[in-house]
Each structure stands twice: as C-alpha cells, then as structure tokens.
C-alpha cells in the first residue's frame, strides 16, 4: 500500500522497555514516509518514497538502471540510511533503533560476500556462532546449519570450499548465511542475478516459502520472471521516484500495457515530467492491506557477547589463514627472509666491549626495531580492506567491531611474538647481538613486540581507511618512510628541525629504538668501550635511551590503544555509510 504515515514521531525503544522486549511472532510491517536520498553533489537517488509493506509479503523492487532499486533496498534495511524521511519497523523508527532490529533482520547484497577459503559447512557454522544466542548448544548450531543447507539444496556441497562452488551455489550459500537465524524481515539485492532460469525459479520458491511462513521479504530484480510469485511489486522511475505499487497484473492495467517488460519503456527518463503520480487511487490500494496484521516489538533473540564473538572471529580467521597456503607461506616466509638478510648485512662482534663499532651498533638496533615494526605493519595492512564487505554485512546483524578488531590482534600477536623471539635468538646465536642475560633479552622481546603491536594497529587503521587492497599496498611506503626518517636513528632527534622533533614523538619506532638501546646498555658501551667514536656519538644523541624501560613500554602501549580506537571509529563510519 502507498500512503502517508502519521506525523507523530515514532517511538525510540529504551533498553529494558516493554517495546524493546517484545518478540516477533510474524514478519515485520515496513513503512516509509517521504524517504529521500541525495548524493554530496546534489544528485537525487530517492525522492519522496512513501509506502507500506505488510508482514508475510513477498515484494519485488523493479525499475530501469539507475532508478534507485539498490538505494531503496539499503535504505529500507538500514544499511545505508536515507538523508530524509524515515523508515518504521512495526511503528518503531529503524534508524534510531538499528541495534534492536539486528537479530531479526537479514540482508543479502548482490555480491557473494562470504569467506572463500573455508568449506561451506564451516563458513555457515562460524556465521551461526556469531548470530545465534550465546547459550545455544552445539547441537542447535549444527541443526541451524543443516536446515539452511537443506533449504537451499546445498547439502551435497557442504564440504566444498566456497571458492570452488558455482556462481549459483555461491549465491545460495550467501543466502544460507542469513537463513541461519530465520530472519523476520529479509532484504535481497538481485538474488537471481547470474543464475540460470531453473535455479532462479527454485530460489524464488524458497523466498515465497519464507514469506508464507510469516517473514517479510523484499528483493530487487531485473528479471520480470521473478515477479510471478510476488504479492506486490514496487516500480521505480528514473531519479528514484515511486511510480506504482501493486501486483504485476494491476501494474499492466494501470500502465495500459500487455506485458511487464513494456512498463520499463513507460518509466523512461521523462516519466516524471508527464506524471504527477503513477500511483493507483487510495480506494484500490486499501484492499491490499492485510487485515489484522500484528504490530510487534523491536527485539528478537539475544546476541553473543563480546568475548564469544572474539573467540569465534579469531578461530575463523585462523582457519581461513591456515587453509590458504600461499598466505601462510608469506606470513612466515617474509620474516625469515628479513632475518636472513640481517645475518648477511650485520657483521660479527659489533658489540664487543673492547672493540665496538658505534655506527654498526646504531644501525643494527635501528633495523631490528624497524624490522619488527615492518612485520606488524604488513600483517595488518590487508586485514580489514579485504573483508570490508563481510564486516559491513555482519555488523548489520550484530557484529561488534571491537571484537572484530581485537580478533585480528589476538590472531596476529602470537605470530609477531614468535617472529621477534626467533629474530633475537638467531642474531644472538650468530654474534650479531651482544652477550647478555636471558632476562635482558626477554625485556627486549617485549619492547619489540609492543613495537610490532603498535605497527599492527597502524596497519589496521590504514586498512580501515582505504577502499581497496591496491590502495593499502600504495600506503605501505607512506607509512614506512616516516618510521625510517623520524626514528631518531638515521638522524638524532637532537639535530632535527622543530617540526621533525614533534613528528618523531609520535613514531613508535623511535621509542622502540631507544628502549632496545637502553635494555642492551648501549650508552655504557659507547661511553666506556674501546672506541674513540663512542663518546661523541652519545653526545650527539643526547638523552636518547635514558628513560626506564617501563616508560618506553607505556608509550608503545598508548600508541596501540589510540590507533586501535581510531581504526574502530573509521570502520564504524565506513560500515554505517555503506562502505562508500
């Protein structure tokens, strides 16, 4: 039905209120009032969309290219909210209460947004653990996975790697992810795109079945065959204008055409210039309302807690990484090659007290700390940007971004710790580092790991900020050059320009460089060792390396916390505005 909603402001559900604790027993009634969306350049994507979709309806959204089908779908789902107007789910403002609706909403974008390296059953199992209530036993999780596989006719492909599925099977797999929780309102963007007619027909039967069971199902399509089983069709004209809402038969009558295909010709670019409205009269639309449709509340099942999501996300990332042999080889092989180059580059005995090599000592310390920074940076740089669409989709249904970011840290921090320990052990065993106590090297390992952790946070921040993996790759030298130039090793902080000193203060490598030098007693070695170059070099470097080790650890920890907070903020903005 198309019409105007009440002007009174819709309720905003407070946690614990009666509105917030009501359960959905059927679908969701969706209402929009004067929904509009405009780009930053002023191009109208949606204009004054007012309509109502009743629970249990299967509704198709059609229109020519550029008519705003996906834009409308994303606005209805809250994926990319409209600039003006409002969307109500059972009389509750969706945009003001998005968190309350996450557990009853399903959204399937046009692209197949699922992890490609895992078997299908494993992909669905991880998705179920992220979405089902925290107290769900493994039997419930397994049953949900089995039901989704059976519903989408994917049982025989359960152990197949997602990347090896056909296009149609991947599309169904993407839908299966959302069906794990039996959503009460389901949005799909061109679900039959790329499918053969038989597969499309089977998929539409599945959607029809979901609607018949009470769910509200809305999908966009270019195929008129998909409209056969729809209760109603929303026709959009160019510029995101609402042209008609009704059944396909009513649309043919309204537009005075013999086929739905001919309606597309009527909805050309000049449609709005010749039509005040293409909507059917209110009297004919009133009969489309389903009488007695229940108004239900705003919250369904409870979401898994932050720690459960952290555990599930970490396990999923680990399995994804270990199943991709090339990624794992690069992850382990890159540090091995760098350490091997250090062995070739550094000479033996540079730290010998009787005959030290001051310039070599400083360069060894720098490259060890920069190497640790480089490992963390490269590990983090592609983590988010390659999964942004998945994060966006999972955030819509309850993913906690803090858990997501910390899962990356939980996965990669042990690798960085091992890499640093192995690097120190190899360089010490081959006499590239000085002889010292185990406790000293344990302290050095902590400093380097905190250095790598700050770099990992920097990489995650950059990964959240860029749009494509190629941009992340281009960002690598931009992040590395400041770490080299302002580290205080190549050029002492004492002799930097004023602005350079300020920049140096926020470079993690500087503090790691000073911290490692402090732990290894480099100032004492240079001042009292057997090289005449040592004392003047110490004077050039001023107070570098004179703070207690704990101070350097504190600096590096603060960098990590601030950078992770910034990464979360940017990622939140990205997923809320639709990743654009």
Instruction: Output the tens digit of pLDDT for each of the chain's 580 residues.
Output: 334 334 444 444 443 343 333 444 467 899 999 999 988 888 888 999 999 999 999 999 998 887 889 999 999 998 888 899 999 999 999 988 887 888 788 898 887 678 888 999 999 999 999 888 887 888 889 999 998 898 888 899 999 999 898 877 888 888 889 888 888 899 999 888 877 788 788 888 888 988 888 889 999 988 888 888 899 999 998 888 898 898 888 888 888 888 888 887 777 655 555 554 444 433 333 333 343 333 343 345 677 888 999 999 999 999 998 888 888 888 888 899 999 999 999 999 999 999 999 999 999 999 999 999 999 999 999 999 989 888 988 888 888 999 999 999 999 999 999 999 999 999 999 999 999 999 999 999 999 999 999 999 999 999 999 999 999 999 999 999 999 999 999 999 999 999 999 999 999 999 999 999 999 999 999 999 999 999 999 999 988 889 999 999 999 999 999 999 999 999 999 887 754 4
Using the 8-state DSSP alphabet, how is residue 89 labeled? E
Choose the final residue of a domain: 284, 314, 344: 284
In a domain, 136, yes or no: no
Do 227 and 333 lie in one domain? The reply is: no
Using CA atoms, how far apart are residues 374 and 491, in angstroms rounded to an integer?
Answer: 19
Do 267 and 387 lie in one domain? The reply is: no
- Residues paired with 261 in a beta bridge: none
Helix (H, G, I), strand (E, B) or coil at 107: strand
Among residues 547, 546, 548, the alpha carbon closest in space to that of 527 is found at 546
Do 249 and 357 lie in one domain? The reply is: no
Do 311 and 275 lie in one domain? The reply is: no
Do 391 and 476 lie in one domain? The reply is: yes
Do 443 and 527 lie in one domain? The reply is: yes
For residue 111, the enclosing domain spans 28-119+180-284
Other CB atoms closer than 10 Å to residue 310's CB: what's the count?
A: 20
Using CA atoms, how far apart are residues 78 and 96, in angstroms rounded to an integer?
Answer: 10
Do 92 and 206 lie in one domain? The reply is: yes
The alpha helices in 152-246, defined as continuous H runs, are 167-179, 197-212
Do 312 and 269 lie in one domain? The reply is: no
Do 371 and 434 lie in one domain? The reply is: yes
In a domain, 159, yes or no: no
In a domain, 16, yes or no: no
Structure tokens at 155: 């049982």
pLDDT score for 319: 92
In a domain, 154, yes or no: no
Annotate 482-518 with DSSP letters as a single string.
Answer: HHHHTSSSSS-GGGS-HHHHHHHTT-HHHHHHHHHHH
Do 277 and 316 lie in one domain? The reply is: no
Domains: count for the chain: 2
Using CA atoms, how far apart are residues 138 and 147, in angstroms rounded to an integer?
Answer: 14
Dihedral, CA atoms, 310, 315, 316, 318, nearest 10 degrees? Answer: 120
Spatial CB neighbours of 343, under 8 Å, sequence gap ≥ 6: 426, 427, 430, 432
**Residue carrying structure tokens 């320990």:** 421
Structure tokens at 262: 């001919």
In a domain, 414, yes or no: yes
Do 322 and 402 lie in one domain? The reply is: yes
CATH code for position 93: 3.40.50.300
Coarse DSSP helix, strand, coil percentages of the chain, rounded to the nearest 5 percent: 55, 10, 35
In a domain, 4, yes or no: no
In a domain, 531, yes or no: yes
Do 417 and 548 lie in one domain? The reply is: yes
pLDDT score for 301: 61
In a domain, 453, yes or no: yes
Structure tokens at 303: 């979401």
């Amino acid at each position: 039905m198309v019409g105007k909603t009440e002007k009174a402001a819709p309720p905003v559900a407070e946690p614990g209120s009666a509105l917030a604790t009501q359960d959905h027993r059927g679908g969701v009634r969706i209402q929009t009032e004067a929904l509009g969306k405009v780009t930053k350049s002023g191009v109208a994507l949606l204009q004054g969309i007012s309509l109502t979709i009743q629970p249990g309806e299967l509704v198709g959204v059609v229109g020519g290219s550029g008519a705003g089908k996906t834009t409308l779908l994303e606005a209805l789902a809250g994926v990319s909210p409209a600039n003006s107007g409002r969307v109500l789910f059972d009389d509750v403002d969706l945009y003001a209460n998005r968190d309350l609706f996450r557990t009853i909403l399903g959204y399937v974008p046009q692209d197949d947004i699922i992890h490609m390296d895992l078997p299908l059953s494993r992909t669905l199992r991880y998705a179920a653990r992220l979405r089902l209530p925290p107290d769900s036993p493994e039997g419930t999780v397994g049953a949900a996975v089995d039901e989704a596989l059976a519903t989408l006719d994917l049982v025989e492909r359960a152990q197949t790697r997602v990347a090896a599925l056909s296009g149609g099977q991947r599309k169904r797999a993407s839908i299966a992810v959302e069906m794990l929780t039996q959503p009460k309102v389901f949005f799909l963007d061109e679900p039959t795109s790329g499918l053969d007619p038989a597969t499309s027909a089977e998929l539409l039967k599945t959607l029809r079945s979901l609607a018949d069971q009470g769910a509200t199902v809305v999908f966009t399509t270019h195929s008129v065959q998909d409209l056969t089983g729809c209760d109603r069709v929303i026709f959009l004209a160019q510029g995101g204008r609402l042209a008609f809402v009704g059944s396909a038969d009513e649309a043919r009558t309204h537009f005075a055409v013999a086929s739905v295909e001919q309606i597309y010709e009527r909805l050309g670019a000049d449609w709005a210039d010749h039509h005040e409205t293409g909507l059917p009269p209110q009297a004919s639309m009133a009969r489309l309302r389903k009488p007695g449709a229940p108004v239900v509340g705003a919250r369904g099942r409870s979401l898994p807690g932050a720690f459960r999501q952290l555990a599930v996300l970490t396990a999923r990332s680990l399995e994804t990484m270990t199943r991709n042999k090339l990624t794992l080889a690069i992850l382990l092989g890159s540090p091995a090659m760098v350490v091997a180059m250090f062995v070739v580059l550094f000479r033996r005995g540079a730290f010998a007290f009787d005959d030290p090599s001051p310039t070599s000592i400083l360069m060894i310390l720098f490259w060890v700390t920069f190497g640790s920074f480089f490992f963390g940076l490269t590990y983090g740089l592609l983590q988010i940007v390659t999964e942004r669409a998945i994060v966006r989709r999972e955030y819509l249904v309850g993913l906690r971004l803090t858990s997501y970011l910390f899962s990356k840290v939980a996965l990669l921090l042990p690798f960085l710790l091992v890499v640093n320990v192995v690097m120190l052990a190899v360089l010490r065993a081959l006499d590239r580092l000085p002889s010292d106590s185990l406790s000293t090297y344990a302290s050095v390992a902590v400093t380097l790991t905190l250095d790598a952790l700050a770099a990992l946070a920097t990489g995650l921040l950059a990964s959240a900020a860029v749009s494509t993996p190629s941009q992340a790759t281009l960002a690598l030298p931009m992040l590395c050059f400041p770490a080299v130039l302002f580290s205080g090793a190549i050029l002492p902080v004492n002799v930097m320009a004023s602005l350079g000193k300020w920049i140096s203060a926020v470079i993690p490598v500087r503090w790691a460089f000073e911290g490692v030098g402090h732990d290894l007693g480099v100032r004492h070695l240079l001042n009292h060792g057997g090289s005449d170059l040592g004392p003047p070099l110490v004077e050039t470097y001023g107070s570098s390396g004179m703070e207690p080790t704990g101070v350097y650890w504190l600096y590096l920890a603060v960098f990590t916390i601030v950078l992770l907070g910034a990464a979360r903020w940017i990622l939140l903005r990205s997923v809320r505005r639709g990743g654009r």
